């Protein structure tokens, strides 16, 4: 066994003929290399790297760095993604969507891989093996993965973001939506249970989202102004019903309903609405907003009765937008009515006058009853 003193650090040859390196750090403690070295030159190189870290003021104790590396090697994509979701301040609906993408798309292919060892090749292989029949879901999952890995870069868990597939986060809508006809809408309404018929009318003629309809309350109906006050939406996350404001300021809006619907709304509230100003228009048996699973069973039967098995409930909103456009609604008016923040093709959002929306609703009412516009 031999020991050699140096200007920085100390080398020691062990009985095994391997070399041990150590030095006194800025904390005045002696630090020993976490491994021994086969050759003297390797030990000297380790000491030189440590000296450079001290000079650059980037030094931390070797044992601390070794523990951090061990943690990095065992930190998987699944664990880090879960931490990321848990620490983000996200709306309930956004969290629900992100968890679906993480659990169903990202984790099955990448979850077990070490975050620090994830490569571009790993990401490309995962991307290539995704279900090609779900391009929009795949694009959203890739965007989420890239965002999560971007946070890992910011937190110095990894040096570079390995999600580098050009165009993977963008996709075009592959499903062409065919609006429902007036006859189809009438058939669907008639086929629905009486307590749910108004939901079809609100989804189409007022272009409301399902979550917005489920959260409507008595106080949201302004009969004097002829408008629905959209201020909340319901989302369902792991069996829980959560209510919150719209995602954007534009989503919080007043929507004028066709005058022909006023008596229908009044009758529905009287027969099916909860009592009190905060009473729900569409309560479940438990008194909460009606869950999609309870609504879609009769909805599926109704759309089949209309010969439209392809029609999604959200397509009623598209139907309403098309009918409003046919009645002369401008881009700005459609944005205001639908609660969009921006127009398609990057057109600048403009506020629509409330009086014009009222006129638009009156025209929709005439169309609803088959009259001339």
Q: Which of 317, 318, 337, 363 is catalytic?
A: 317
Q: Which of 17, 136, 266, 349 is catalytic?
A: 349
Q: What is the pLDDT of residue 4?
A: 56
Q: Which of 31, 197, 209, 253 is catalytic?
A: 209
- 318 carries an active-site annotation: no
Query: Residue 2's beta-bridge partner residues?
Result: 13
**Could you tell me where the DSSP H helices lie in the chain?**
40-55, 62-74, 77-87, 92-101, 107-110, 120-128, 135-154, 182-191, 197-205, 210-214, 262-272, 292-305, 313-326, 331-338, 354-368
Query: Which tokens go with 312?
Result: 């999604």
CATH code, 182-368: 1.10.443.10
Q: What is the pLDDT of residue 175?
A: 63
Q: Is the pTM of this model over 0.75?
A: no
Question: How many residues comprise the chain?
Answer: 373
Q: Which of 12, 272, 312, 340 is catalytic?
A: 340
Q: What class is the 75-154 domain?
A: mainly alpha
Is the CB of residue 92 less than 8 Å from the CB of residue 242?
Answer: yes
Q: What is the pLDDT of residue 346?
A: 27
pLDDT in tens, 208-224: 999 999 999 999 999 99
- 209 carries an active-site annotation: yes
- 266 carries an active-site annotation: no
- 349 carries an active-site annotation: yes
Domain boundaries defined on the chain: 2-73, 75-154, 182-368
- 175 carries an active-site annotation: no
Under-50 pLDDT residues of the chain: 344-354, 373
Q: Which of 88, 266, 314, 351 is catalytic?
A: 314
């Amino acid at each position: 066994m031999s020991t050699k003193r140096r200007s920085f650090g100390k080398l020691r040859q062990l009985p095994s003929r391997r070399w041990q390196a150590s030095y006194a750090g800025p904390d005045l403690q002696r630090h020993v290399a976490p491994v021994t070295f086969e050759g003297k030159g390797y030990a000297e190189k380790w000491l030189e790297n440590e000296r450079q870290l001290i000079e650059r003021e980037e030094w931390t104790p070797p044992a601390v760095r070794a523990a951090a590396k061990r943690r990095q090697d065992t930190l998987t994509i699944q664990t880090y993604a879960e931490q990321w979701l848990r620490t983000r301040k996200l709306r309930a609906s956004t969290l629900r969507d992100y968890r679906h993408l993480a659990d169903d798309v990202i984790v099955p292919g990448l979850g077990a891989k070490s975050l620090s060892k994830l490569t571009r090749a790993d990401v490309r292989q995962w991307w290539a093996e995704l279900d090609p029949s779900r391009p929009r879901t795949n694009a959203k999952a890739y965007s989420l993965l890239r965002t999560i890995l971007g946070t890992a870069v910011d937190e110095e868990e990894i040096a570079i973001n390995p999600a580098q597939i050009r165009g993977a986060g963008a996709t075009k809508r592959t499903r062409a939506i065919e609006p429902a006809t007036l006859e189809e809408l009438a058939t669907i309404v008639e086929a629905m249970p009486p307590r749910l018929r108004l939901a079809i009318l609100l989804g189409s003629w007022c272009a409301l989202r399902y979550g917005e309809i489920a959260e409507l309350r008595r106080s949201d109906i302004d009969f004097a102004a002829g408008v629905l006050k959209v201020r909340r939406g319901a989302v369902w996350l792991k069996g829980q019903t959560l209510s919150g404001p719209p995602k954007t300021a534009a989503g919080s809006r007043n929507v004028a309903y066709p005058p022909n619907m006023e008596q229908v709304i009044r009758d529905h509230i009287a027969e099916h609405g909860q009592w009190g100003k905060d009473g729900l228009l569409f309560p479940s048996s438990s008194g909460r907003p009606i869950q999609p699973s309870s609504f879609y069973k009769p909805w599926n039967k109704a759309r089949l009765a209309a010969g439209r098995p392809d029609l999604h409930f959200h397509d009623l909103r598209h139907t309403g937008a098309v009918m409003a456009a046919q009645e002369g609604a401008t881009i700005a008016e459609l944005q205001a009515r639908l609660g969009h923040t921006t127009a398609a093709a990057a057109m600048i959002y403009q506020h629509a006058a409330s009086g014009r929306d009222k006129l638009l609703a009156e025209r929709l009412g005439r169309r609803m009853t088959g009259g001339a516009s």
